[in-house]
Chains A and B, each alone.
Chain A
Amino acid sequence: MTASFQALQEVADRVLNTAIEQAIFGAAPLTIVKSPPGAGKTFLVECASAVATDKPAMRVVVVTPGVSQLYDVVDRLLGYSLPRLELAHAKFRSLPDMLADRITASSGWAETLNVGPGVVVTNAHLLASYLHKLRPGTFDLMIVDEAYQLAASDFMPISDLATRIMMVGDPGQLNPVISADTSNLEASKHKIHWSAPAYVLDRFPETPIFELPVTRRLLPDTSNMIQASFYPDLSFQSIVDPCDRRLRFAVSGMEPAIDQALDAIARGASLVAITVPGGAPAHEEADLAVAAVMAKVADRLLVRQAEWVGQRRLTEADIGCIDPHVIAGGAISDQLRQCGRDKIRVETVERWQGLQTPVSIVRHPLSLAGSPTAFDLEAGRWCVSLSRHQLGCIIVGRESIASVIRDYVHSCDTVAAGARDATWLGYRAHRTIWNVLAEQGRIFAL
């Protein structure tokens, strides 16, 4: 690691230590830690759990918005010798394979849980379901992981279950999933539909905030683009040394555009795009031509024997496809199956949140016929899509993306007056990223 990266790493470690110290020993009952993608949120949760159960001998609860996140946290915490580690999930759930035989899950809340210092990992809904059995102060410390995905209304019932609360989350990614029209609530004094940290900061702006200043996942070029486009209020830099995170191909390229894009990644451009001629078909829910190119990109990575230099040769498990729509994702799966690459994971953006993969292949949400909707433009969704990769991300879409961005006219009534307009912010991010890719010669036309 170079001296500059070392210095950044030390700063990041100091922030992590200070945030944990404040959350566990400080006079403020609530601490918020904002984190960019790949900054080590879960590592922070691990460290906080270790400190809290050490000398202060606290009863800690780690709360996640959804159940899949709680399994990931438990998987990580199993790597520590904590005085007690417990998992509680809903009665109808079964443990995923990765945790089977490693921990005994409690189906629902049980009186035997939370006795003495240690950690219970559960999700917000489960605690709310057993609220009648849980008194205020049941826990000494509550760590809310992925807190920006937890709606304030879901945090409310459990908010007094611990004396101290530490919220950890990424403010640039997907907001809590709320399907109902919340425009009327926007005028309310209590923005109950906002994420829990946003709600807290709206009511208590003096709440201690710590900002993790580095990303350990994204290479510097991606990090710079992501930070400028999605995190205007959160400054961070990559501490990934490009020399340690290189892609190399054993077989030279021959496919125009596709191999050129892959070679660009090997040369150090970790975010590139491939465009398919024309526009998306007007009356199809999946663009088969784009899906075919995405499958081809995956195939070429493997045929060319892509290698994470110093680590391993990449396999299907090292590639992830991201599509905002389930049906379009199904078309990609079909194409992958047809070229014998059916072990490559294809998921929606929501499913990819919180995960990482060496190489991601992303369908551009503005590769569409007609005008983009708020869903297509949403900033958080695009941010998640572009921040999963450790080595490289290949965006695939129609060449019409440029004109979709150029011709977009934003409606002034997309949100309640005075409210944050995520659609507009998303549009600006799209425009910035596409322009940067074009200026830097990172768009490869088929």
Chain B
Amino acid sequence: MNAFDDTLHRVMARHMNRALPMRTSSGLSSDPDVSIGIATIKIVTEEQIQAIAYGPLDGEPEVIVRLDPIGRDVSDLVPFANFMDQTANRALAADGALRVWIPHSVTLEALDILGHRYWQNQAAPDAVVRMGKICRIIAHEATFPGQQVVADAASLLQDHIVTGLAPIEEGHLGAVLAWLDPAIRDPLTEARERIRLPASGILPNTPDQPADDRVDRLRKELKRAAGPHKTVIEKEIQDILRRWVLREWQLLVEARRAFLALDLPPVRLEELLEDSTKRMSYALQNGHFPARQPHKLAALLAQMEAGLEKAELAALEGDPILRDQARSAGKVVLGVVSDVRQPRSGRAPCDIDIESNQGVIRLRLDDKVKVVGTTITGVVRGVFSTQSGGTRVSIQITNGVRQTSSLSVGAKLEVMRAGYGFVNLSALQLVKQRQPWVFFGNVSPCVASGFPSGRSALEIAAGIRKP
């Protein structure tokens, strides 16, 4: 969406006192059987988790509150570790299909750091080490564009709806939810009231809610306390942490509910889903191995690039609103078939011309394209400006030549670039075997010197230059 459309939508949303959908399809596939939620509260300065709420999303969560989150004893994490292990096992039994809902990206960062801290920590219990590995696998998966495992509720809502808030205010999940609750008459006021307290996985620290300072002080007191007084302090810390982590959990549950209530169909996400489940299945079974060798890094980069392209094309193909926006940028061409050159009906060869009134298009010669909503694919063989300021595109049809209803003069078609991104794993496998020195060697080899002819390069080139 361009800046003008974005602003216009925000004005409309504010006028109508409700969020407006920006898409007609979902960028997230349906929740698989193994779907869990995780919400966290961390210590801001230490990046240590001090409370976790977790569990299935259709019931009450389990809550762990940590009295000493920076201590070495991590046995308090074992219930969460066991839960993650069970979840991983269930996901493995389902061929890697897993969904982890989190309220916002801060939770993912917290899980990533938790993973880094324990996945190779030999002093930690085995269950916690396994938890660390699973956390790293989940956080790693989240780095792939278009992935279908981690559902970041705040980010999903931002991608699919627009509110009457300024974009920066939409960083607060609670504020966004105010625009999705029909019971709230004045979502702007409500949202700004909610923004007073953070929704970013930390304890609030405002004059009326000094929870962070209070917990800090209580922890200091706890070090000197004993007997019943100690128990009282512990209970107060636990109560504060429980209250605020449950608030995060509640935000997550409400955001998920609101997202699902948009009732957007997941369209064309099968390939992205398959990519995700394959990666997860492999990693949960074999462990997390960060890419370090050059061919692994190249594969990682290629997967990220391919994911980005697949996600963009899937969204475009599945969503007329996005296609409408993409047309203004020339990424999709809407036009009418003005000529069909097909000597034998329903057979190749088949070439068509499409006339569009779009002056700006991004299709180039030899681009592979597809016709939206059909299985017709082709290659652009010509792009010409028309007298009226539009464009005529000639396409050689390579697939779907039998779809004569679409391939007939007067048919209205939408054409977009076909997916190209793929990971050339067989080439990278050969690279691994061949170990080219530029990437795998530590010293540059010497090659046998040759003997120049004595004539300069310029002379030699001039000597064979055609008149």
| Interface positions of A (Cβ within 8 A of B) | 13, 16-17, 20-21, 24-30, 46-48, 50-51, 54-56, 67, 79-82, 92-94, 96, 128-129, 131-132, 136, 151-153, 155-157, 159-160, 163-165, 178-182, 184-185, 188-190, 192-193, 199-200, 203-204, 206-207, 282-285, 326-327, 329-330, 333-334, 337, 342, 370
What number of A-B contacts does a CB cutoff of 8 Å give? 184
Q: Which of B61-69, B234-242, B428-436 contacts A (4 or more CB under 8 A)?
A: B428-436
Q: Which of B166-174, B255-263, B297-305 contacts A (4 or more CB under 8 A)?
A: B297-305
Instruction: Please indicate the chain B residues that have their CB under 8 angstroms from the CB of A96 in the complex.
Output: 365
- Cross-chain contact A334 with B389 (CB below 8 angstroms): yes
- Cross-chain contact B304 with A55 (CB below 8 angstroms): no
- Cross-chain contact A180 with B308 (CB below 8 angstroms): yes
- Cross-chain contact A156 with B304 (CB below 8 angstroms): no
Residue B375, interface by CB 8 Å: no
**Closest-CB distance, A32 to chain B (whole angstroms):** 12
Using known A-B contacts A157-B430, A334-B389, A337-B389, determine if residue A24 contacts B301 with beta carbons closer than 8 Å.
Answer: no
Instruction: Please indicate the chain A residues that have their CB under 8 angstroms from the CB of B458 in the complex.
Output: 13, 16-17, 47
Using known A-B contacts A47-B461, A192-B297, A334-B389, determine if residue A28 contacts B447 with beta carbons closer than 8 Å.
Answer: yes
Q: Which of B1-9, B77-85, B189-197, B401-409 contacts A (4 or more CB under 8 A)?
A: B1-9
- State which of B379, B436, B438 has its C-beta within 8 Å of the C-beta of A92: B379
Instruction: Please indicate the chain B residues that have their CB under 8 angstroms from the CB of A203 in the complex.
Output: 438-439
Instruction: Please indicate the chain A residues that have their CB under 8 angstroms from the CB of B430 in the complex.
Output: 131-132, 157
Using known A-B contacts A28-B446, A54-B453, A283-B3, determine if residue A193 contacts B330 with beta carbons closer than 8 Å.
Answer: no
Residue B464, interface by CB 8 Å: yes
Instruction: Please indicate the chain B residues that have their CB under 8 angstroms from the CB of A342 in the complex.
Output: 385
- Cross-chain contact A27 with B368 (CB below 8 angstroms): no
B355-380 contacts to A, CB under 8 A, are: 359-360, 362, 365-366, 368, 379
B contact residues, range:
35 or more
Distance of A181 Cα from B301 Cα, bound (Å) = 9
- Cross-chain contact A136 with B436 (CB below 8 angstroms): yes
- In the complex, what residue of chain A is closest to B438 when comparing beta carbons? A159
- State which of A129, A188, A284, A334 has its C-beta within 8 Å of the C-beta of B427: A129
- Cross-chain contact B447 with A164 (CB below 8 angstroms): yes
What are 6 A-B residue pairs whose CB atoms fall within 8 Å in the complex? A47-B460, A132-B430, A190-B297, A192-B301, A326-B330, A334-B359
Residue B465, interface by CB 8 Å: yes
Distance of A283 Cα from B456 Cα, bound (Å) = 59
- Cross-chain contact A132 with B426 (CB below 8 angstroms): yes
Using known A-B contacts A190-B294, A192-B297, determine if residue A25 contacts B439 with beta carbons closer than 8 Å.
Answer: no
Distance of A79 Cα from B464 Cα, bound (Å) = 9
**Closest-CB distance, B308 to chain A (whole angstroms):** 5
- Cross-chain contact B449 with A27 (CB below 8 angstroms): yes
- Cross-chain contact A156 with B464 (CB below 8 angstroms): no
**Closest-CB distance, B39 to chain A (whole angstroms):** 25
Distance of A155 Cα from B439 Cα, bound (Å) = 10
- Cross-chain contact A180 with B4 (CB below 8 angstroms): no
Distance of A48 Cα from B456 Cα, bound (Å) = 11
Instruction: Please indicate the chain B residues that have their CB under 8 angstroms from the CB of A199 in the complex.
Output: 438
Distance of A204 Cα from B307 Cα, bound (Å) = 32
Distance of A25 Cα from B300 Cα, bound (Å) = 37
- In the complex, what residue of chain A is closest to B420 when comparing beta carbons? A125
- Cross-chain contact A80 with B301 (CB below 8 angstroms): no
Q: Mark B306-318, 1 if CB is under 8 A from A, else 0.
A: 0111000000000
- In the complex, what residue of chain A is closest to B443 when comparing beta carbons? A204
- Cross-chain contact A190 with B449 (CB below 8 angstroms): no
- Cross-chain contact A80 with B330 (CB below 8 angstroms): no
- Cross-chain contact A327 with B301 (CB below 8 angstroms): no
Closest 4 CB pairs of A and B: A330-B360, A180-B304, A283-B4, A160-B436
Using known A-B contacts A25-B452, A27-B447, A131-B430, determine if residue A92 contacts B398 with beta carbons closer than 8 Å.
Answer: yes
- Cross-chain contact B449 with A192 (CB below 8 angstroms): no
- In the complex, what residue of chain B is closest to A55 when comparing beta carbons? B453
Distance of A376 Cα from B297 Cα, bound (Å) = 29
Q: Mark B437-452, 1 if CB is under 8 A from A, else 0.
A: 1110000111111111
**Closest-CB distance, A133 to chain B (whole angstroms):** 11
- Cross-chain contact B305 with A79 (CB below 8 angstroms): no
Instruction: Please indicate the chain A residues that have their CB under 8 angstroms from the CB of B451 in the complex.
Output: 25
Residue B209, interface by CB 8 Å: no
Instruction: Please indicate the chain A residues that have their CB under 8 angstroms from the CB of B338 in the complex.
Output: none
Distance of A27 Cα from B302 Cα, bound (Å) = 34
- State which of B297, B365, B445, B457 has its C-beta within 8 Å of the C-beta of A17: B457
**Closest-CB distance, A25 to chain B (whole angstroms):** 4
- Cross-chain contact A29 with B447 (CB below 8 angstroms): yes
Residue B328, interface by CB 8 Å: yes
Distance of A25 Cα from B292 Cα, bound (Å) = 35
Residue B410, interface by CB 8 Å: no
Using known A-B contacts A16-B458, A156-B431, A157-B428, determine if residue A193 contacts B301 with beta carbons closer than 8 Å.
Answer: yes
Distance of A29 Cα from B444 Cα, bound (Å) = 7
- In the complex, what residue of chain A is closest to B4 when comparing beta carbons? A283
